[in-house]
Chains A and B, each alone.
Chain A
Amino acid sequence: MQPGLYHILFISAALFFIGVFGFFTRRNLITILMSVELVLNSVNLNFIAFNKYVWPHKMDGLFFSIFVIAIAAAEAAVAIAIIINLYRSHQSIDVENAEEMKF
């Protein structure tokens, strides 16, 4: 059987929840950022799959995924700047040690 929309949606759902699992279990800011990247990628895969199999006469899904990639790049850059600044002031990038803003 030729793989189709449902196969790709299965992969994307699995990848999304792998990312969610990593987000729940990791305690290091860089690994949390990696999990978020996995989640964003699964969303992109969904957009492209729907664009190809459900609305091939429009290109909205394709443009959404391109803009999501651009915004994810900006997000990763800002997050890493914050992480490096946090490391300078705390000598650690563990979420348990960054709790000044907790009330």
Chain B
Amino acid sequence: MSGSTIIFYMLAALTLVSGILAVTTRQIFRAAIFLLFSLIGIAGLYFWMQYDFVAAVQIVVYVGGITVLIIFSIFLTQQAGELLPKQKIGRLLYSALAAFCGFALTMVQLCQHTFKTTTEQPILPTVSNIGDRMLSVEENGFALPFEVVSILLLAAMIGCIVIALRSKPTTA
């Protein structure tokens, strides 16, 4: 067993175990921290696949951005030290059953399918290749989606400000 394989299984275990703990723990703050570790494990898997740029984006946006946002919203909305209420055992059981059946179905389909691989020359996911492709307006370029996403982010930013604004107290 080579070092790369060992690292892969460690990253997989980190991702899955902290993912399971994030959806089962009854302390909401711990759930956020386990989510953080799960996202770090996924970033590690991107590094393992040598997609460095996506791994960096994952760490900056998810680990540095979204998790901090979630932790702040926990501070704003939860009482300290309060446990989440216990769930009904029936609901837990049926949810686990549904999730497991879906997982089994997916795995059965996956094991019966063989993916054809190409023999064409691969494009390395280096930052310069990604930048060329992202801002190119020719075939296989992604300039239009890039602009659309920037408009979407602007709209989301304005939307957040409008939604979270404290409405003026109505003067009677």
Let me know if A98 is at the binding interface, CB within 8 A.
Answer: no
| B62-79 CB contacts (< 8 Å) to partner A | 62, 65-66, 69-70, 73-74, 76-78
A11's contact among B31, B45, B78, by CB below 8 Å, is which?
B45
Binary flags per residue of A62-103, CB closer than 8 Å to B gives 1, else 0 = 110111011111111110111111011000010000000000
A30 touches B73 (CB 8 A): yes
Where chain A touches its partner, the secondary structure class is: helix
A11 touches B5 (CB 8 A): no
Q: Shortest Cβ distance from B8 into chain A, in angstroms?
A: 5
Number of interface residues of B (CB under 8 A): 84
Q: Considering the complex of A and B, which 3 residue pairs feature the smallest CB-CB distances, nearest first? A: A22-B23, A56-B122, A24-B95
Residue numbers of B with Cβ under 8 A of A are: 2, 4-5, 8-9, 12, 15-16, 19-20, 22-24, 28, 31-32, 35, 38-39, 42, 45-46, 49-51, 53-54, 57-58, 61-62, 65-66, 69-70, 73-74, 76-78, 84-85, 87, 91-92, 94-96, 98-100, 102-103, 106-107, 110-111, 115-118, 120-123, 125, 129-130, 133-134, 140, 142, 145, 149, 152-153, 156-157, 159-161, 163-164, 166
Q: Told that A15-B16, A82-B163 touch, could you supply 11 new A-B pairs with CB distance under 8 A?
A: A3-B9, A11-B12, A13-B106, A21-B98, A24-B94, A34-B22, A37-B39, A38-B19, A53-B115, A72-B66, A77-B160
